[in-house]
Amino acid sequence: MIDVRKDFPILEKEVYGKRLVYLDSAATTQKPSCVINAISEFYRSGNSNIHRGVHYLSEVSSERYEKAREKVSDFIGARNSSEVVFTAGTTDSINQVACSLRPVLAGNEVLITGVEHHSNIVPWQMAGATLKAIQMDDDCNVLIDSMEITDRTKLVAINHASNVLGSVNDIKEITEIAKDHDVPVLVDAAQSVQHVPIDVKDVDCDFLAFSGHKMYAGTGVGVLYVSERFNDLLPARGGGGMVDKVTLEKTTYLDPPQRYEAGTPNIAGAISMGVAVDYVQNIGMDKIKEHEHEVYSYARERLLEMDGVTVYGNTDEMCGAISFNIEGVHHYDAGLIMDKMGIAVRTGHHCAQPLMRSLGIEGTVRASFALYSTKEDADMLVEGIEKVRVLHA
């Protein structure tokens, strides 16, 4: 087991006079001191715009920004750091792909799963595509064998791990099937990149989207991995920093990654992502996976043992989130009672209304875990649920 709680100052906080039991890491993870310090230090002594100045500060900022890109590139196993595009987050990354691919997607189909976050649903609809979902079993696991790709399927867009159920999809197998049909694949890794090692070369996907704030970095920054196969995609955004030549008649674009990064980016955010990558890599993603698996499995087993508690999802590989409901108690009420005990959980549909419909429910209570989560946190969750049940008896 790893013990990194001292690295996260907020975990020492008390709420309502109780120890904070933070079980909302799928919404956003807490930040280690090194990330907090890097953001503060940037604004204190490094602040400057990048790529556009000849002066010292701008050079240093540009270097740090590009170094962060290299770290992220190494983290996800990209062939080249030019495949790593800094965005505002997963939602922004997916929207940019939807915008760039709009000419091919409009009037055609995108194949998704029935377990997607709205961020991997709405942008495709806005691009004019019709959504088809791969069939699921009773536990809402994707039935890969039933994947149907037709002439109209122009993209497969799937999550790696569900933000609701914690179920992990076999993205390599799904990509292989899509590739057999020459259909590109986008992976929404918002809920996996912080929990399990990912190698984009191995998965062979074309796009991978994730958020900095869910992997211990700051908010408002994320990544879109764009395979070099898509070096000449029409940029979703135009403006400064992405052009080669501009005339009133015509503009030509730079090569990636600048091609896909119009305007001033979230420089401090990107730098914080580099620091977060260093932080998790120093611990080791395999160790993180192992630690979280132990805490996650323990929490799940304890919840499964409880009378009157329904736990959703069930498959071999799970991580991050556990969703459940308590018999006779609205999920929102359960969340409120637990909050007063210092337990931070999330309630509602978790931006996954189609999944809620498949489950025949309106929402769940979701407890979610990160590398600082412990079995004591899981015990506190169980205590919280017991208290909810007593109060509602």
Residues belonging to the active site: 351
What is the DSSP track for 290-358? HHHHHHHHHHHHHHHHSTTEEE----SSB-SEEEEEETTS-HHHHHHHHHHTTEE-EEE-TT-HHHHHH
113 lies in the binding site for ligand PMP (CB under 6 A):
no
What is the DSSP track for 105-163? HTTSEEEE-TT--GGGTHHHHHTTPEEEE--B-TT--B-GGG----TTEEEEEEESB-T
89 lies in the binding site for ligand PMP (CB under 6 A):
yes
Stretch of 140-148, 183-191, 267-275, 310-318 contacting ligand PMP, by CB under 6 A: 183-191
Q: Closer to ligand PMP by CB, 88 or 378: give it.
A: 88
364 and 164 Cβ atoms separated by less than 8 Å: yes
Q: Which of residues 348-377 bind ligand PMP (CB under 6 A)?
A: 351
Q: Tokens 């020459």 belong to which residue?
A: 182
186 and 127 Cβ atoms separated by less than 8 Å: no
Q: Closer to ligand PMP by CB, 127 or 388: give it.
A: 127
273 lies in the binding site for ligand PMP (CB under 6 A):
no
Q: Closer to ligand PMP by CB, 7 or 188: give it.
A: 188
Q: Write the interaction track for ligand PMP spanning residues 305-344; mark x where CB under 6 A is met and - where it is not.
A: ----------------------------------------
Q: Closer to ligand PMP by CB, 188 or 206: give it.
A: 188
Q: Write the interaction track for ligand PMP spanning residues 211-250; mark x where CB under 6 A is met and - where it is not.
A: x---------------------------------------
Quote the least distance from Cβ 214 to ligand PMP, whole Å. Answer: 6
Stretch of 39-47, 86-94, 197-205, 255-263 contacting ligand PMP, by CB under 6 A: 86-94
153 lies in the binding site for ligand PMP (CB under 6 A):
no
Q: Hey, which residues does 157 pair with through a beta bridge?
A: 186
120 and 112 Cβ atoms separated by less than 8 Å: yes
Euclidean distance between CA atoms 153 and 352, whole angstroms: 22
190 lies in the binding site for ligand PMP (CB under 6 A):
yes
Stretch of 10-18, 46-54, 84-92, 293-301 contacting ligand PMP, by CB under 6 A: 84-92
247 and 75 Cβ atoms separated by less than 8 Å: no
**Nearest CA among 220, 244, 240 for reference residue 93:** 220
117 lies in the binding site for ligand PMP (CB under 6 A):
yes
24 lies in the binding site for ligand PMP (CB under 6 A):
no
Query: What are the backbone angles phi and psi of residue 121, rounded to the nearest 5°?
Result: -130, -60
**Nearest CA among 277, 271, 113, 274 for reference residue 197:** 277
Cis previous bond, 257, omega within 30: yes
95 lies in the binding site for ligand PMP (CB under 6 A):
no
Q: Closer to ligand PMP by CB, 100 or 191: give it.
A: 191
159 lies in the binding site for ligand PMP (CB under 6 A):
yes
Q: Tokens 């399927």 belong to which residue?
A: 153
Q: Coil, strand, or helix at residue 231?
A: coil
Site for ligand PMP, rule CB under 6 A: 89-91, 117, 119-120, 159, 163, 188, 190-191, 211, 351
